[in-house]
């Protein structure tokens, strides 16, 4: 059963406070294990990575670095319908992200001063892709495509092997289509450490992106600063806003589309129709019977799901903004009217035919999104995630002479006399 809560200004927020604890502090034992792995890989390089792979997976993979011909063969031998689907998704994702590309600028002033900003892609990025049975070729597309558009020079992918030691062919197909440069069969915290510090074979990268389990997420968190990361992602989540025009069958299906990700996933309905929750509950129970991950769905919805009955539309919008969900669906009358009111969400899905999986795989916007309420201040992965900016300044003697007194005054008020002196000495006789 999914709990139902009638909003009264207190009860719903008590639930949300309790919900936030699911993605709280990382388990200390996990942090200790990951810290040891990071330190060992930093000192031991590839041998340490391989030792951890053998320890955790039972044996070493078929390859450490997947040969280019194996990657190309995976694409050649792939199901044509699957390749066509990925190509169509790739086209949509590329079209959306090309529009994000910012431009540098130069501002040449009349007094000879030249100011500007230079924008360019990072030199090398590491892409972590879950492998084995939980393989997501869509993650390759969503991470590699904006990186390529940003001008990243080299993409290094790490992915765990399948149980038989071979690479997941669907992952290789996506890597081939997206122009991933090198692929290594390694997973877990050891692969993240290898990307952050570099080994004899795995190059050191500037940024690490891509989803992973708690050990991967903890490694990224601990190594932030040594290397940049995309974000610290928590369990997946969806919020569906619905009124009396919503179809309970669709609401249930969309809630379960995220609940199946993880036992810690959260699926929440906020509705202005008090009759909808019972109908959604009935649909959840009916549809869940034929879904392969029904046990995970049942656990996550019972423990971290809820159906909140709002007193009016304004309260529903306020709750959505307070929760700041990763995915926000609007199954309301005239859904486009809500675009300007929903400020805190990773991605907003408007209307009956904008189901959340459309965004996961195909529409174009990125599916790497802020979780755990961080959509209040974080943004989805995009082209900007793979760019760096530098400013530049050119001053003439006359322009600096005009500005020097102000600069010296500010520097001396801050007690930084060497700053002031660097300006003064340029005008000493």
- The active-site residue, picked from 97, 281, 283, 327, is 327
- The active-site residue, picked from 326, 329, 356, 367, is 326
HSE-CB of 52 using CA atoms within 13 angstroms? 26
CB 399 within 8 A of CB 112: yes
Helices (H), 212-293: 214-223, 248-259, 276-288
3-class DSSP state of 23: helix
Residue 327 is a catalytic residue:
yes
Alpha-carbon distances of 325 from 177, 181, 313, rounded to whole Å = 31, 34, 17
Q: How many residues does the chain have?
A: 429
Helices (H), 21-79: 28-57, 68-77
3-class DSSP state of 215: helix
Question: CA-CA distance, 125 to 154, in Å (whole number)?
Answer: 6
Q: What angle do CA 66, 68, 73 make, to 5 degrees?
A: 100
- Token reading at 337: 């009217």
Alpha-carbon distances of 157 from 99, 195, 207, 244, rounded to whole Å = 25, 9, 12, 46
Q: Which of 242, 244, 232 is nearest to 24 (CA)?
A: 232
Residue 326 is a catalytic residue:
yes
CB 330 within 8 A of CB 351: yes
Q: Count CB neighbours of 235 within 10 A.
A: 18
- Token reading at 292: 């392969």
Name residue, tokens 């492998």. 131
**Beta strand residue intervals within 257-364, DSSP E:** 266-271, 306-309, 327-331, 347-350
- Beta strand 387-394 pairing with 347-350: unpaired
Question: CA-CA distance, 78 to 172, in Å (whole number)?
Answer: 10
Q: Which of 195, 96, 181, 182 is nearest to 146 (CA)?
A: 96
HSE-CB of 413 using CA atoms within 13 angstroms? 6
- Write out the catalytic residue numbers: 326-327
């Amino acid at each position: 059963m999914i709990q139902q809560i009638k909003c009264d200004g207190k009860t719903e927020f008590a639930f949300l406070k309790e919900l936030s604890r699911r993605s709280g502090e990382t388990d200390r034992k996990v942090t200790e294990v990951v810290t040891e792995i990071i330190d060992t890989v930093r000192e031991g390089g590839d041998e340490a990575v391989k030792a951890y792979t053998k320890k955790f997976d039972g044996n070493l993979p078929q390859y450490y670095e997947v040969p280019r011909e194996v990657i190309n063969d995976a694409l050649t031998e792939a199901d044509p319908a699957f390749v066509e689907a990925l190509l169509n998704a790739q086209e949509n994702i590329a079209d959306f992200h090309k529009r994000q590309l910012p431009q540098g600028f130069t501002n040449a002033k009349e007094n000879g001063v030249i100011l500007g900003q230079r924008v360019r892609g990072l030199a090398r990025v590491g892409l972590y892709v879950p492998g084995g049975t939980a393989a997501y070729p869509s993650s390759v597309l969503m991470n590699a495509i904006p990186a390529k558009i940003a001008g990243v020079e080299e993409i290094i992918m790490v992915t765990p092997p399948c149980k038989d030691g071979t690479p997941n062919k669907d992952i290789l197909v996506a890597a081939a289509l997206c122009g991933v440069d090198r692929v290594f069969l390694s997973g877990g915290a050891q692969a993240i450490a290898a990307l952050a510090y570099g080994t004899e074979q795995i190059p050191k990268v500037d940024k690490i992106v891509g989803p992973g389990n708690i050990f991967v997420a903890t490694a990224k968190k601990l190594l932030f600063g040594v290397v940049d990361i995309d974000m610290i992602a928590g369990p997946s989540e969806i919020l569906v806003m619905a009124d009396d025009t919503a179809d309970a069958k669709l609401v249930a299906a969309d809630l379960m589309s995220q609940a199946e990700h993880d036992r810690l996933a959260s699926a929440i309905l906020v509705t202005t129709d008090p009759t909808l929750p019972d109908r959604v509950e009935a649909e959840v129970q009916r549809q869940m019977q034929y879904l392969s991950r029904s046990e995970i769905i049942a656990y996550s919805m019972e423990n971290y799901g809820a159906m909140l009955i709002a007193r009016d539309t304004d309260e529903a919008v306020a709750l959505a903004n307070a929760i700041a969900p990763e995915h926000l669906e609007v199954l309301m009358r005239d859904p486009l009217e809500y675009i300007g009111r929903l400020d805190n969400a990773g991605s907003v899905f408007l209307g009956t035919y904008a189901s959340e999986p459309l965004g996961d795989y195909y529409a174009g916007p990125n599916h790497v999104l802020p979780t755990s309420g961080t959509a209040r201040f974080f943004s989805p992965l995009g082209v900007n995630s793979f760019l760096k900016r530098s400013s530049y300044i050119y001053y003439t003697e006359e322009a600096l002479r005009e500005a020097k007194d102000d600069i010296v005054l500010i520097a001396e008020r801050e007690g930084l006399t060497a700053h002031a002196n660097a300006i003064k000495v340029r005008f000493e006789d």
